[in-house]
């Protein structure tokens, strides 16, 4: 009977345990979520309705914005609702669905960032062969691989959690169903699962982060030694990518690479990659990108012209 699951629902303890702070957080997070929606929808429309979709960098950026929308929408709407609710409950099946969806979207996003780094690496080091190497078919294959690896990551975590018995208590010290807070509620020894979790999430995130940082260091070093006219644009693009990578990966490393502990600020730190990073990504990729700004003006002026006709 070890695998018997008596818990049919979980209770979130929430982001804060102060009702006044939670009420303030409700309005702030609502504004942030609206900013995420507006910013990423703007990028999606700008790229898909312009010639930018034909360029690999913007093709990957379009998919990154879509993942930001999906990932944030799998977590933040329920968080906003719970901040205003007296009882923050979620059924067992809904919890497992949220766990799978959030890790699927986050996993795909991580591998899209790898694709974007690969794209910049080829553009800088193999400029003459860039269009041949990063052709549309290869870009589509890379996106397909990102989805495949993201699915493998999320289904592995889900199967690990589904194998655990939950007999009570059922209070999750978090605002989302995630692996580490759920492990604290399991009615069995979870040391082996903790090791598998660290291998599946923590070490993978650390390794990918180090590879990305090393690749961008090589790119930036290579650009610094050049004096061509395109270098300032390439430097601006790479620095934007580095900013996004740091915003996303550093909080993930803190949460998934460090062992679970009562003093960890996991739920507070996780706000950075669930809300802050998806909100800032559109600003990072548009404010420093003249090509995006020009295309944005053209697309929105065309849409406005069509409405007025």
At 1 the pLDDT is 39
Cα(36)–Cα(282) distance, integer angstroms: 8
For a pLDDT cut of 90, what percent of the chain falls above it?
20
Integer Cα distance of 235 and 26 in angstroms:
38
| Distance in angstroms (rounded) separating the CA atoms of residues 133 and 137 | 10
Give the residue from 177, 147, 175, 176 showing the smallest Cα distance to 164: 177
pLDDT value for 286 = 76
In three-state form (DSSP H/G/I as H, E/B as E, the rest C), the secondary structure along 199-255 is HHHHHHHHHHHHHHHHHHHHHHHHHHCCCCCCHHHHHHHHHHHHHHHHHHHHHHHHH
Residue 88 has pLDDT above 80, yes or no: yes
Evaluate if residue 264 carries a pLDDT over 80.
no
Q: Which residues contact 114 (CB under 8 A, 6 or more apart)?
A: 146, 208, 211, 212
Find the helix or strand (DSSP H, E) in which 172 lies: strand 171-172
This prediction's pTM = 0.86
Query: For residues 15 and 22, is the Cβ–Cβ distance under 8 A?
Result: yes
User: Is residue 274 scored above 90 in pLDDT?
Assistant: no
* pLDDT value, residue 232: 63
Mean pLDDT of 262-289: 79
Q: Per-residue pLDDT tens for 14-50?
A: 777 777 787 888 889 899 999 999 989 988 888 888 8
Measured in residues, the chain has a length of 309
Give the separation between CA 252 and CA 205, rounded to whole angstroms.
7
**Planar angle of CA 146, 178, 182, nearest 5 degrees:** 140
The DSSP secondary-structure symbol of 260 reads P
Tokens of 81: 């609702």
Q: State the pairing for strand pair 9-12/171-172.
A: parallel
**Where do the domains of the chain lie?**
9-303
For 173-202, the pLDDT digits (tens) are 888 888 888 888 888 877 787 777 777 777
Mean of per-residue pLDDT scores for the chain: 82
Report the alpha-carbon distance of residue 207 to residue 224 in Å, rounded: 26
Measure the CA–CA gap between 186 and 207, rounded to whole angstroms.
Answer: 29
Top-level CATH class of 9-303? mainly alpha
What pLDDT is recorded for position 2? 44
**Residue closest to 257 by CA, chosen among 210, 188, 187, 189:** 210
Whether 273 contacts 113, CB under 8 Å: no
Q: Tell me what percent of the residues of the chain surpass a pLDDT of 70.
A: 89
Determine the pLDDT at residue 3. 47
User: pLDDT-derived band of residue 308, with 50, 70 and 90 as boundaries?
Assistant: low
Highest mean predicted confidence (pLDDT) among 82-86, 141-145, 208-212, 282-286: 141-145
**Residues 185 and 236 sit within 8 Å (Cβ to Cβ):** no
CB neighbour list of residue 233: distance below 8 Å, 6 or more residues apart: 290
């Amino acid at each position: 009977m070890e695998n018997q699951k008596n818990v049919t629902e979980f209770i979130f303890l929430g982001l804060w345990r102060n009702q006044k702070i939670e009420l303030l957080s409700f309005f702030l997070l609502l504004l942030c979520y609206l900013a995420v929606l507006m910013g990423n929808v703007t990028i999606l429309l700008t790229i898909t309705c312009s010639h930018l979709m034909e360029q690999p960098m913007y093709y990957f950026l379009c998919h990154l914005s879509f993942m930001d929308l999906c990932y944030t929408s799998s977590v933040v709407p329920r968080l906003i609702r719970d901040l205003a609710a007296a009882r923050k409950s979620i059924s067992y099946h809904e919890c497992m669905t949220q766990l799978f969806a959030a890790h699927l979207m986050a996993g795909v996003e991580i591998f899209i960032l790898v694709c974007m780094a690969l794209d910049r690496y080829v553009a800088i080091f193999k400029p003459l062969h860039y269009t041949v190497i990063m052709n549309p078919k290869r870009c589509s294959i890379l996106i397909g691989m990102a989805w495949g690896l993201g699915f493998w990551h999320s289904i592995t975590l889900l199967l690990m959690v589904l194998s655990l018995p939950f007999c009570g208590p059922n209070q999750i010290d978090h605002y989302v169903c995630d692996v580490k807070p759920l492990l604290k509620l399991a009615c069995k020894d979870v040391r082996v699962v903790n090791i598998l979790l660290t291998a599946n999430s923590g070490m993978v995130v650390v390794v990918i982060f180090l590879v990305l940082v090393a690749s961008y260091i090589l790119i930036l070093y290579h650009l610094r030694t050049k004096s061509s006219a395109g270098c300032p644009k390439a430097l601006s693009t790479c620095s934007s990518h580095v900013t996004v990578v740091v915003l996303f990966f550093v909080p993930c490393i803190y949460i998934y690479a460090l062992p679970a502990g009562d003093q960890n600020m996991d739920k507070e730190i996780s706000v950075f990659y669930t809300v802050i990073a998806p909100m800032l990504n559109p600003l990072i990729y548009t404010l420093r990108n003249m090509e995006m700004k020009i295309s944005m003006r053209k697309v929105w002026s065309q849409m406005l012209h069509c409405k007025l006709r």
